[in-house]
Chains A and B, each alone.
Chain A
């Protein structure tokens, strides 16, 4: 019946496009899903813990240092005790590749379970709906309230709901902003209305974003706003295990009746529980792979409960591949090229990140050869080249270093103190010169190697190649 309603309502609407295939809720009505307990519900609740930690993380400190701080003005990222400078940001590339490959890989294996369990849109919506249910009651009561006039009861209930939603949105925004500056200072600034404009803008956009996306748009975000939801469909194949309705077992569906021969019927009793619990308004029995389906498995929970009651085996709706439902053999995970390729790229990225983190050099040196003039002829006939040298000390304390150069016979550095004291995280460029006899140069242009070395610990060192130029021959 609900299906009938939608059909008439959506005539000449965008819903037309989907009419032939299966019903898609394009935002015409608010979905009020039933909340059932079960295995996949428990998994979803476990993910809440992860996202709670996102809210708390920026406020944690170890030894007075903020655990995670992306200090953009100072160009330093603090991450669990490690300080990452922009020079080491190449690791971010591999981190992003890793995340992408993990998403692709998990999608190839089990469809959009990232969407169903892990995505912040799903999780925040889940919180909001949970609060909605606590305040406004069951789906039936909520639907009634939607239609009810704005009397005192509705105003009170909606008021409380919006207030709590606002609070969550506010905390979300503050936590996000707190990743980018001293978190407690931010709190103080916000309370005294003294925060930086960027903090206010961040806070406002996250507040509105959370409130509107999780409170009102909900599954519509996944349906037509989120690009990943669409991209992921192409990563699913016939071997991906996705919530599926076992058609051969379930059909023909029908309610069990007393005194009638039920043997002819399939296991589906057409109780519609799978539709009632779906947070995105999908009827999983129409097709396994649907635009709206975020593959959260809540329909599996609902169906298993019913099967238990009517004494039939569980799993009429279950995570299963298309091949499995069709009665074919499912190849093992490690025989599937997609899985292997994603895994290989992921492992390569992990290796790159581990290598990067393990080998962050404590010193970073850059030497830039003066471009004009490339060389200067001195009065005694020798050749002089100028360089700008920048050394960054990434250690937390000042460091005494010496800089040497080799590559040209008799060349030494002019314009740099013998012992250079580098302040932590501060770069002062020095203009230095190297002078050499033209006869000592093997060619018009020869490579030279600068080396910076800590006085107290020769293992802290860094080399940089540049060149030494002379007149054309």
Chain B
């Protein structure tokens, strides 16, 4: 190129290693784009917020702001949800469960609520934490699995209670009880075991047939679900140190806080629907 242009096109006098800088104008399309970008700039400054001032900034003639756009989008979303939410408020938990479309809406609505209030212990989908926090999507309920039971649990909370038997019974008797609990779950309990169970006073809470009592939250011992672990060591530990025993080192903790002061009755109702339908909801 340099050779082609020799003595043809005037240059700026700059030359590096035989490469001359010519005075050719930039291409027309480039000039147009250059001018257009200035037009764009001016228009942008007029229309949109752009120049920072000391305590403020220029607002632009359209009054647009990112925050306002966000708020509008939220308001638009709320407007779509409003009729559903209003409808949900009027429906009972049973009615919501009977209407798949409303139930799906309630599920989406309570997803964040469940995540905020419940998931930290019970897991994001109610899967619980092994041996520490109860699973919500099985069909085993400490305090009952009907809609009313679940509502009560969420609203008022629950406090587990089991006496510590360390000291009241000797090692052999404690071991016998642990074996009984394991055997009764797999249906192989012996008469001696039943006697030890009744003599220790376990049947007072766990019922004479060991199926538990939802009024005090005593778990069913005959099923295959374990609240604090199903190995012999864990079972023995639970019997020894009890649940929520003041001043007992190593006692099990079983506390569910109440949410009636934090959540509206409607939110509790919708959470009840969610928990009930996680997998094991019971009818009256």
Q: Note all chain A residues with C-beta closer than 8 A to B100.
A: 428, 430
Report A377-394 residues with CB < 8 Å from chain B CB.
Answer: 377-381, 384, 386
Q: Which 8 A-B pairs have the closest CB atoms?
A: A379-B223, A373-B127, A381-B224, A379-B140, A12-B9, A376-B138, A376-B137, A378-B139
Tell me, in angstroms, the Cα distance from A158 to B277 when the chains sit together.
Answer: 73
Say whether A431 faces chain B, with CB atoms less than 8 Å apart: yes
Say whether A429 faces chain B, with CB atoms less than 8 Å apart: yes
Given contacts A12-B5, A379-B220, A429-B104, A386 and B137 within 8 Å (CB-CB): yes
Say whether B231 faces chain A, with CB atoms less than 8 Å apart: no
Say whether B239 faces chain A, with CB atoms less than 8 Å apart: no
* B24 with A373: CB separation less than 8 A: no
* A11 with B224: CB separation less than 8 A: no
Say whether A372 faces chain B, with CB atoms less than 8 Å apart: yes
Say whether B210 faces chain A, with CB atoms less than 8 Å apart: no
Given contacts A12-B9, A373-B127, A384-B279, A378 and B4 within 8 Å (CB-CB): no
CB distance from A29 to the nearest CB of B (A): 14
Tell me, in angstroms, the Cα distance from A429 to B140 when the chains sit together.
Answer: 26
Say whether A16 faces chain B, with CB atoms less than 8 Å apart: yes
Report A421-461 residues with CB < 8 Å from chain B CB.
Answer: 428-431, 433
Given contacts A378-B140, A386-B279, A372 and B123 within 8 Å (CB-CB): yes
Q: Sort chain B's interface into a size bin.
A: 20 to 34
Say whether B155 faces chain A, with CB atoms less than 8 Å apart: no
Q: Which of B107, B127, B139 contacts A379 (CB 8 A)?
A: B139
Given contacts A12-B24, A431-B277, A433-B279, A376 and B127 within 8 Å (CB-CB): yes
CB distance from A369 to the nearest CB of B (A): 12
Tell me, in angstroms, the Cα distance from A14 to B27 when the chains sit together.
Answer: 9
* B4 with A373: CB separation less than 8 A: no
* B104 with A376: CB separation less than 8 A: no
Give residues in B with beta carbon < 8 Å to A: 1, 4-5, 8-9, 22, 24, 27, 100-101, 104, 107, 123-125, 127, 135, 137-140, 220, 223-225, 277, 279-280
Q: Which of B8, B27, B107, B223 contacts A12 (CB 8 A)?
A: B8
* A380 with B224: CB separation less than 8 A: yes
Q: Note all chain B residues with C-beta closer than 8 A to A377.
A: 138, 224-225
* A378 with B138: CB separation less than 8 A: yes
Closest partner residue, chain A, to B10 (CB atom) = A12
CB distance from B4 to the nearest CB of A (A): 6
Tell me, in angstroms, the Cα distance from A376 to B225 when the chains sit together.
Answer: 10
* A428 with B104: CB separation less than 8 A: yes
- Could you write out 16 A-B pairs with CB less than 8 Å apart? A16-B4, A373-B125, A373-B135, A376-B137, A376-B138, A377-B224, A378-B139, A378-B280, A379-B140, A379-B225, A380-B224, A381-B223, A381-B224, A386-B137, A386-B279, A428-B104
Closest partner residue, chain A, to B126 (CB atom) = A373
Tell me, in angstroms, the Cα distance from A14 to B9 when the chains sit together.
Answer: 13
Closest partner residue, chain A, to B24 (CB atom) = A12
Tell me, in angstroms, the Cα distance from A430 to B103 when the chains sit together.
Answer: 10
